[in-house]
Amino acid sequence: MNCPHCGAMAHIRTSRSVSRMTRELYCQCTNLICGHTFVGLVEVVRTLSPSSNPDPEIAKQLAARSGATEEVHTAPGTVLPHEPLASHGARATAA
């Protein structure tokens, strides 16, 4: 992570759990002249590959974040809805 003031690298000095999907990071800029210390957040926002042992509550939260409208099933062997990955060969073209 970079310092939002000077752009130098910032080190994560410690962190604490806010929830099972969010962690608060306590950061310190490595630029001694700047010296900025700040708090950042890291959170799980979507599923790329579904869990083989999903927690129903977490699955519901992830489905809600991705805007999934289908019912979430968490029975063993059930694939949870997730956003499709973009094709590796797809490229944006200028119009």
Each residue of 63-76: pLDDT tens digit? Answer: 888 776 444 444 45
| Residues, the chain | 95
- pLDDT at 93 (0 to 100): 45
* pLDDT surpasses 70 at 26: yes
* Domain spans in the chain, listed from the N-terminal domain onward: 10-66
| SS3 label, residue 93 | coil
Give the pLDDT confidence of 27-65 residue by residue, as tens digits: 999 999 999 999 999 999 999 999 999 999 999 988 888
Please spell the DSSP secondary structure of 3-50, one letter per residue.
-TTT--BEEEEEEEESSSSEEEEEEEES-TTT--EEEEEEE----SS-
Tokens standing for residue 92: 């944006």
* pLDDT surpasses 70 at 84: no
- CB-based contacts of 11, cutoff 8 Å, min separation 6: 27, 28, 30
| SS3 label, residue 55 | coil
Given pLDDT bands bounded at 50, 70 and 90, which one contains residue 16?
very high
* pLDDT surpasses 90 at 12: yes
